[in-house]
């Protein structure tokens, strides 16, 4: 009887450790799936003008645990709770690479690329008809029948005062490096180029736009010039993303093999180890 108790404890201990290993591999697979989704989205936007690629971070349990036990924000006399922490990989935050993409020549007088920092301000209208200001690096603009400069989706390009830019459709327009638009020798509008002090307070908003969060305020951009007749393309490198995709697939497959190995070991521990002959 004593030996049976000892054997049961050994088996329970092995099962407990194995279950932790299964959970660790599972959380790692979830994280790799998340990374794969980000890579797939980057590849889907490789031909999207002005698109900024995204990446995903991850944190190991030891890093999360180390931060938690060193947290001095809690009162010293209160019991310190570790909170909820997964015993495996923690999916981190997505981040955006704001580096400039390659520029292509189009000869279209309303195609504009920003050389330097900054974003075009655009009046965006949602399906409910509500308008708000969004920001984009996609300078593929056109003039509609009423003379307004718009995006290809019909959203209005804004000037330095966040008002719509309207030109005379019967006159040719010239745009200089400062965004000043001249018709018949007269200055009729100036394209509004905005910037932010901290890009961490920007988030993607579908349709290749960005929007500020946590009350971040846009300011006039200073370190830029406009290249008319050019478009900034996506900063996604197909080769880099494919290499990353292969690495993610290898990590995913490795964790699958770990789970298979643990499953076989658990089967032996449950059905064979300690069996009375």
Residue 96: pLDDT band by 50, 70, 90 thresholds? very high
Q: Model confidence at 1, in pLDDT bands (50, 70, 90)?
A: very low
Compute how many other C-beta atoms are within 10 angstroms of the C-beta atom of residue 141.
Answer: 24
Can you give the pLDDT at residue 68?
60
- For 54, residues 6+ apart whose C-beta sits below 8 A from its C-beta are 38, 41, 42, 94, 95, 96, 97, 204
What does the alpha-carbon distance between residue 159 and residue 145 come to, in Å, rounded to a whole number? 19
Q: Could you give phi then psi for residue 69, rounded to 5 degrees?
A: -75, -20
Q: Which of 225-229, 239-243, 264-268 has the lowest mean pLDDT?
A: 264-268
Average pLDDT over residues 105-116: 94
Contact 122, 134 (CB under 8 A): yes
pLDDT in tens, 3-26: 444 444 444 544 445 566 777 787
Any idea which of 10-14, 36-40, 156-160, 178-182 has the lowest mean pLDDT?
10-14
Q: Helix 238-271 to helix 2-44 angle, to the nearest 10 degrees?
A: 160
Quote the pLDDT of residue 22. 74
Q: Are 228 and 109 in contact (CB under 8 A)?
A: yes
Sort 220 into a burial class: Cβ within 10 Å, 0-12 / 13-18 / 19+.
exposed
Q: How many angstroms separate the CA atoms of 194 and 121, rounded?
A: 7
Render pLDDT for 142-154 as a digit per residue (tens, 0 to 9): 999 999 999 999 9
pLDDT (mean) for 101-125: 94
* pLDDT range class, residue 86, cuts 50, 70, 90: low
Mean residue pLDDT of the chain comes to 83
């Amino acid at each position: 009887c004593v030996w049976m108790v000892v054997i049961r404890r050994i088996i329970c201990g092995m099962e407990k450790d194995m279950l932790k290993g299964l959970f660790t591999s599972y959380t790692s697979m979830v994280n790799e799936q998340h990374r794969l989704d980000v890579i797939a989205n980057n590849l889907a936007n490789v031909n999207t003008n002005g698109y900024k690629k995204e990446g995903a971070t991850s944190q190991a349990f030891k890093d999360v645990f180390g931060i938690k036990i060193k947290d001095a924000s809690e009162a010293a006399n209160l019991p310190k709770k570790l909170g909820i922490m997964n015993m495996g990989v923690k999916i981190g935050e997505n981040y955006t690479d704001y580096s400039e993409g390659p520029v292509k020549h189009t000869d279209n007088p309303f195609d504009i690329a920003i050389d330097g920092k900054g974003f075009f301000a655009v009046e965006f209208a949602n399906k409910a008809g509500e308008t708000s200001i969004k920001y984009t690096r996609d300078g593929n603009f056109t003039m509609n029948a009423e003379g307004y400069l718009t995006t290809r989706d019909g959203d209005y390009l804004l000037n330095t005062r966040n008002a719509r830019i309207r030109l005379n459709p019967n006159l040719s327009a010239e745009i200089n490096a400062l965004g000043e638009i001249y018709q018949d020798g007269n200055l009729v509008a100036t394209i509004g180029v905005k910037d932010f002090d901290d890009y961490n307070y920007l988030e993607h908003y579908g349709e290749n736009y960005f929007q500020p969060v946590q009350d971040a305020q846009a300011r006039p951009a200073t370190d830029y010039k406009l290249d008319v007749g050019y478009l900034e393309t996506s900063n996604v490198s197909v080769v880099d993303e494919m290499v990353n995709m292969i690495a993610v697939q290898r990590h995913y497959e490795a964790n699958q093999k770990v789970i298979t190995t643990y499953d076989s070991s658990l089967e032996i521990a449950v059905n064979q180890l300690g069996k009375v002959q």
